Amino acid sequence: MEIIIGSTSLHYHLPETRTPKDLDVWSDDKGKVNSSKGEDFKVIPTKIINLIEHKDGYATPDSLYTIKCSHLGWDNPMWSKHKQDTLFLKSIGCKIILELYNELIEYWKDELGDKNFLSLKQDKESFFTDNVTYLYDHDWLHEQVSFPNKPVYTKCLKSGEDVLIDKNLFDKLPFSEQIKMFKEEIVVIAIERWMVNPNLKKPKSWLESYILSVRKTITSLTKGWATDFLVKNLDIISKPDYSMFEHTLNLISKLNKEKQYV
């Protein structure tokens, strides 16, 4: 069976969307090759093909939304495009087809890697090391970002761990606090990696830093259920909020001014 996905399928169901520039086709026929110029053909396991809802051979918007969401856990040059497409599809009411999503995630793990490089069972000094020069302690930044409250992540850390979250404790948090926990982390990462990183010739704005941090957190700093939570709530997670930056940036500015007079 062949199913057309991507922008061609989206345009078929929603003619007001962008005009497709190519044709993306998924099939479980291992013997087929690209039949025409501009066609991107991919062989996909039959059990996945059978889970894709379609009409006249075109994947439905719900199927497209599910496929797009399943891609977001891995970085690639099309990541921002996939992000915008998922936000649009969710905004018009599309829902994740859970069984299809779960099968796709397992398939991408084989194709793209299961993020085995990412171990949360380590101290924060070991976890947050990837060619970033940290001017401020990560936990101190968390305290400032969450000020005057405690960082949400402290409510659901596994006993004796620095960065490993206990999912059972996380699940008991109100949804608003679950969102806040991830947003606090994203803001901290945005500040330390793109706003005060001395290795950058020019610091990035808080808004651009937040956008970069959302991508970094989803693709490189989380896996499993945490990535799934971020992807499924991307419409909320991706909304920047300057108030979460304000206290920390003002404090850092004050500290820098004080250094000039020491």
- DSSP letter at 153? G
| CA–CA gap between residue 212 and residue 233 (Å, rounded) | 17
CB 118 within 8 A of CB 221: yes
> Is pLDDT at 117 greater than 90 in this prediction?
no
List, for residues 125-176, the tens digit of each pLDDT value: 554 555 677 788 999 999 999 999 999 999 999 887 767 899 999 999 999 9
User: Over the stretch 193-242, which tens digit does the pLDDT of each residue have?
Assistant: 999 998 888 999 999 999 999 999 999 999 999 999 999 999 999 999 99
pLDDT, tens only, 40-54: 889 999 999 999 999
50 to 41, 64, 68: CA distances (angstroms): 17, 14, 17
Residue 1 makes CB contacts below 8 A (sequence gap 6+) with: 27, 28, 29, 46, 49, 50
Q: What pTM was estimated for this model as a whole? A: 0.91
Please name the residues in contact with 71: beta carbons below 8 A apart, sequence gap of 6 or more: 78, 79, 82, 108
Residue with tokens 């949804």: 175
CB–CB of 2/29 below 8 Å?
yes
120: confidence class by pLDDT, cuts 50, 70, 90 = low
Contact in structure between 8 and 17 (CB atoms under 8 Å): no
